Chains A and B, each alone.
Chain A
Amino acid sequence: MLFRVVAETLSKIEAITSRTAITELLANLFRKTDPEVIDKVVYLIQGKLWPDWRGLPELGVGEKLLIKAIAKATGVRETEVESLYKKLGDLGKVAEALKSRRAGGGGLARFLSGATNALTVNRVYETLKRVALAVGEGSRDLKISLISGLLVDAEPIEARYIVRFVEGRGRIGVGDATIMDALAIAYGGGTAARPVIERAYNIRADLGEVARILVKEGLRALEKLTPEVGVPIRPMLAERLNDPREILAKVGGKGMVEYKYDGERAQIHKKGDEVIIYSRRLENITHQYPDVVEAVRNRIKSKEAIIEGEIVAVDPETREMKPFQELMHRKRKHDIHEAIKEYPVTVFLFDALYNEGEDLTTKPLPERRKTLEMIVEPDETIQLSQYIVTDDPEELEKFFLEAIENGAEGVMVKAIHKDSIYRAGARGWLWIKYKRDYKSEMIDTVDLVVIGAFAGRGRRAGTYGALLMAAYDPDADLFRSVCKVGSGFTDKDLAELPEILKPYIRQSKPRNVDSLMKPDVWVEPALVAEIIGAELTLSPMHTCCRDEVRKGAGISIRFPRFIRWRDDKGPTDATTTKELLEMYKSQLKKISE
């Protein structure tokens, strides 16, 4: 199939704006397309060589290199290409103009016996693929040579689109939706086939491949398409609401309420020992999480599975959740093994889409969750998401506040009725996210009093792992709990904790302490520490200013960190509950998204 056919269609599309007309032009192009190259034609129209998730290199040809290639192919100096570019503002048009001026092109082609020059889709695609895959020493010259080789044999109109494609301006305003419409018209018998194509694309995020199956095997084959391990599924998306009552009504009165973790959504594919992790945008992020890969290998019992979860940064000592930003350290390419130690993660799994040959996307959520629970053996790195099932808005609200205090962003409320299937690629009311509208940023430190301590685990075994902290309420002469702090301690701080706390340890709750949370040991209010956090938040677990902002909730600190002991302060000199309430109110800001 000649590339000229594609170039001419793109040129016609460029001149019109009506989506119906564009779809018709594309459908005509697809009808004319040789089935052997339908996938390549689809990719070229998408402006890419392959789906992004394949993680293959991009063309890697900048403007300068492209100018060199055009100069080489048309036999003019680079300065001439540059000056024409200044005038036309589009390198594609520059190449087209130069090719029109110099019919026949440069190179040895016209002196060679039996050389055929017409560009086929296959040659254009395969050559661009070689350009992308050329790496290392000498690859720059090779890339120029390959592109220039195409331009030598290109007709002017073909040159325009080859150059634009290389420049990354290949997209001409034709979205995936229009391509799917055109495929439905050309090969599905009309727009009625569109949902089948869309579903196929949602469970196999590769439009070229979907087109190939449709053209070569027919619509029936697409209808029967199931997920394939290694090929990402477009993630199911949630709507957003902020009223627990309305949320429950939307999901059918009763739903699964799950922590909405503040991390990176991960679709994990496992086939034997091979594990691939895709991001929400279907990028291959496997290299960032070798620890998750290892855990999946060891802790997912199935040979073949596609599961979903949220990867969350956790404190290396306490395994408490840390903010999303901490995951940025995993983006760096070097020293990933160092980053694993410094910035460990836990993946909280929440769904199973495919297991041992069975497509679970068409099953209701409770069934998928059951499968997930059957195939996972949780450990430190792999856990199941925390959830409750409820029809009570108050219980939902309480769980929501607890989730936030524990470092989550809010909750996801999911339908659990018989139609609660996994709707790949779709946003709908089967899943509803409930996040905060406001947050109260913490810009200053507070001085809190130790009222309890929790035994340490792992490296902290033998000492304490976290302290329960309180603010002072002078009106009631009570120390009311605010947060549990486990971060910010140096090794020396931790080693000294048992000695420091020893004189104040009590077997039962001191009479001047007000706390719903029960630590491993109670501590007589005496020691004051300076604490900072990300924000002040509402919590059902703490008693500071309870019921004053919201019924059933007190004020707490999200992501608290120990800074230092305040030996200069007595417990009654600590930050008061009233001061915390003022801080909460004065820093309250609407979260804009």
Chain B
Amino acid sequence: MRITFSNARLWRYVMASVGKFIDTGYILINENGLTFKAMDPSKTALIIFEIPKEGFMEFDVEGEHKLPLSIEDTAKILRTAEKDDVLSIEWSSESITFVFERRGVPRSFTIPLYAESAIEEIPELELEIPNKYVIYAAGLYDAINSLEDVSEVLAVSGDEQKLVLTAEGDIATAEITLDTERGGLEEAQVENPGFRALYSMEYFSYLKSPMKMADRSILEVDEGLPCRLTLEYSVGARIVYYVAPRVEE
């Protein structure tokens, strides 16, 4: 069985980002497509990377397959992915092979898979989050890039017109407002205006590269709830990323 994806670089950035704070995860492949799931050991963040069957150039899959792997090793291999590389994935019950191909020259890397029992099952997370913001392409990336050095905490607040991202540090306070009027926000659906949610900044810093590559970002937040960040890419691929709230006042 083999699947082929046109943009190897997207895989490279996703795995490099996840590898910064999670060491193991698993890929689920079935007739509908591929899902990669990983949760950081402190259970603060959960990442799901999905590509529907239609997003692949080639999708030769029968049944369901769970491939538990080392993210560090996978990231190391994917680091060699270049622009224009096409990525194919083949697997057995013991190993997974990544094949990069450019100008007709395939480069193949195989790593062993973990035993299924060695990796904890990641439970489902179903949440109704009342406030939803759709942000233009790299808007979230730019905001995090500016705020990350100011504070270890990211405060998110907003109403129907705007989304305010704040970092309050010991020596400075930084604030970035994205609004619908000036075009920073594409859309806002807010049921609980005036909310203020707190998250650890580092979990947003980890995902900067995939944020930068996204076509658009959807941030769902509310006070005391995990946030759900959805990053959408061409060919239907997307990242769904949950970050637990901080509970300080």
Contacts and interface: CB of A to CB of B under 8 A. Distances in A.
B248 A115 contact: no
B242 interface: yes
A317 interface: no
Given A142-B41, A148-B41, A106 B246 contact: yes
A77 interface: yes
Contacts of A153: 43
Contacts of A77: 152-153, 248
Given A77-B152, A113-B125, A149 B246 contact: no
Ranked nearest first, the 3 interchain pairs of A and B with the lowest CB-CB distance are A148-B42, A107-B43, A149-B41
Given A77-B152, A114-B123, A108 B39 contact: yes
A428 B48 CA distance: 64
B34 interface: no
Nearest to A141: B21
Among A75, A80, A136, max chain B CB count under 10 A is at: A75
Contact of A108 (B46, B170, B200): B46
Contacts of A146: 41-42
Nearest to B23: A142
Given A146-B42, A149-B40, A75 B248 contact: yes
Contacts of B42: 69, 72-73, 107, 144-149, 151-152
Given A72-B44, A77-B152, A149-B42, A106 B21 contact: no
Provide the main secondary structure of the chain B interface. Answer: loop
Nearest to B42: A148
B11 to A, nearest CB: 18
Contacts of B225: 111
Interface in A103-152: 106-109, 111-115, 127, 130, 134, 136, 138, 141-142, 144-149, 151-152
Contacts of B39: 108
6 contacts: A75-B245, A75-B246, A111-B226, A141-B21, A142-B41, A148-B42
Contacts of B171: none
Interface in B141-185: 152-153, 170
Contacts of A72: 42, 44, 200
A503 B231 CA distance: 93
Categorize the interface residue count of chain B: 20 to 34
A76 interface: yes
A138 B19 contact: yes
A102 interface: yes
Interface of A: 69, 71-80, 102, 106-109, 111-115, 127, 130, 134, 136, 138, 141-142, 144-149, 151-153
B187 interface: no
A149 B152 contact: no
Given A108-B45, A142-B21, 7 more contacts: A106-B246, A108-B125, A112-B125, A134-B23, A138-B21, A145-B21, A145-B42
B46 to A, nearest CB: 6
Provide the main secondary structure of the chain A interface. Answer: helix
Contact of B23 (A80, A106, A114, A130): A130
Contacts of B20: 138, 141
B247 A152 contact: no
Nearest to A134: B23
Interface in B93-127: 123-127
B24 to A, nearest CB: 9
Contacts of A102: 247
B72 interface: yes
Interface in B38-83: 39-46, 72
B138 interface: no
A75 B249 CA distance: 10
Interface in B182-229: 200, 202, 225-226
B43 A109 contact: yes
Contacts of B44: 72, 106-108, 145, 148, 152
Interface string B14-45: 00000111110000000000000001111111
B41 to A, nearest CB: 4
A113 B123 CA distance: 6
Given A77-B152, A108-B242, A141-B21, A113 B41 contact: no
Given A72-B200, A111-B226, A145 B40 contact: yes
B240 interface: no
Interface string B233-247: 000000000101111
A114 B77 CA distance: 34
Nearest to A72: B42
Contacts of A149: 40-43
A106 B245 CA distance: 8
A79 B126 CA distance: 33
Contacts of B22: 142, 145
A463 B68 CA distance: 68
Contact of A76 (B46, B126, B248): B248
B205 to A, nearest CB: 10
A79 B168 CA distance: 13
Nearest to A74: B247
Among B19, B23, B44, max chain A CB count under 10 A is at: B44
A128 B2 CA distance: 37
